[in-house]
Amino acid sequence: MSQSVARSRINSRTNHEAIVRNSSLLLEAIETAYDRIEAERDRNCWIHLRPREEALEQCRKLVARARTGENLPLLGIPFGVKDNIDVEGMPTTAACPAFSYTPWHSAHSVERLTAAGAICLGKTNLDQFATGLSGARSPHGPCASVADVRYVAGGSSSGSAVAVAAGHVAFALGTDTGGSGRIPAGFNDIVGIKPTIGLVSSRGLVPNCPTIDCVSVFCNSVSDGEAILDIIEGFDFEDPYSRQPRTFFPADAAAPSFRFGRLATSDLECFGMPECGELYEHACERFARIGGTAIEVDFAPFRQAGELMFSGPWVAERHSAIASLVDVESNSLLDVTRTVLASAAGYSAIDTFGAIHRLHRLRRSAEAIFAGIDALVVPTAPRPFTLEEMQRDPITLNNRLGYYSYFANLLDLCGVAIPNATLPNGMPMGVTLLAPAWHDRALIGLARRFEASAGGAAFELKFGG
């Protein structure tokens, strides 16, 4: 299947009857996906892979249904699912073999995708129990960036991002608690959409921090991501964390001109790699060229909220969620996972309520800032780190990766991570658009304009080419 056909398929722009008549193209795409996966096992991006013939047979059955007139907008599109999200009949392990179980039902988001005709090829690698931002905390091996195998892919949704960037699948589901749906997108030159918390049901998701977990989408273009979001979003009464939007802001809410928040030079933290800051400045210039007015904002409330994620009592919520699933003191967890969770013991209920009260004050400060801008633009990550560097200092460097991402869910923001530019060493560095809850479509509209300003060549759907 050619790149152009694959792109139009995911956005439902192709003549449905023509695709059904040429079902051999769909089967060829599945075959190509498996050939690539088998040739690149060393990427460590898959934990469980569905048998090839099983996927091909499902494709044939879907085509037969489509021939009877059933509308299947994602007919035959292959995708991957992070292995902390349930897929019926496939083991869920959260990268902890001792935890493994096989669910009878798929997660709500997966059910919607398969109902639309998409085909799940398997479960992707992750930082164990989604605890980390590096992609190097898995018993199944680390995931490296597709751009340079010396560097981390970013996590915890590393496998999903790598599977998309390597052309194994057209899109993949990840999760995002502190940046896991954005950091891997930035280091693999793809798009990561982190919806408003509760916009997509978290039913069927292995809990991490349940109050701020959300399902995310990795894809190769903003339009692809919007098409997937259209299918998986929606209120789910059976999910206690699902929410009904008070107001939903459309994609053209900030068009044709808009105001974007940008960091002051003094707030731009690159941890010793100033060239990353230069790429951020170029991104701000691009936003200005497409109609944006830059407004320098105070980053302090965002930075302080981010510090609460892993230097505050929210790690206790993570400990509580994981301890309900496995013995966190046993040898079933990686040492680094156990070390992170052990820090929860240092926080009392008094500490927790104090942090909640502080977070409410920080949210009010953020609201005041967003009252004057349509979106905040930040680097997706401060800088890339090599796998070797991450192994030497896994906790410090992991937390540095979250400098621009930790605060988003705590402040109830939605986000879209988009490719920006490439460092001299060849590593891609993205930027992320952030806005208050329910501004998802407005952000997508701005992200699409930014993407188009690059000329589109870097954003061709990589699957099936």
Pairing assessment for the beta strands 46-49 and 119-124 based on DSSP bridges: antiparallel
Per-residue tokens: 261:
């928040």
Rounded to whole angstroms, how far apart are CA atoms 117 and 429?
A: 33
Placement of tokens 């897929």 in the chain? 87
Q: Are 217 and 184 in contact (CB under 8 A)?
A: no
Q: Are 230 and 444 in contact (CB under 8 A)?
A: no
Contacts of 302 (CB under 8 A, 6+ apart): 366, 376, 378, 407, 411
Rounded to whole angstroms, how far apart are CA atoms 402 and 381?
A: 7
What's the sign of the alpha-carbon dihedral 33, 12, 222, 135? Answer: negative
Per-residue tokens: 428:
């891609």
Active centre residues (catalytic) = 82, 156, 180
Placement of tokens 């060493």 in the chain? 425
Rounded to whole angstroms, how far apart are CA atoms 145 and 223?
A: 23
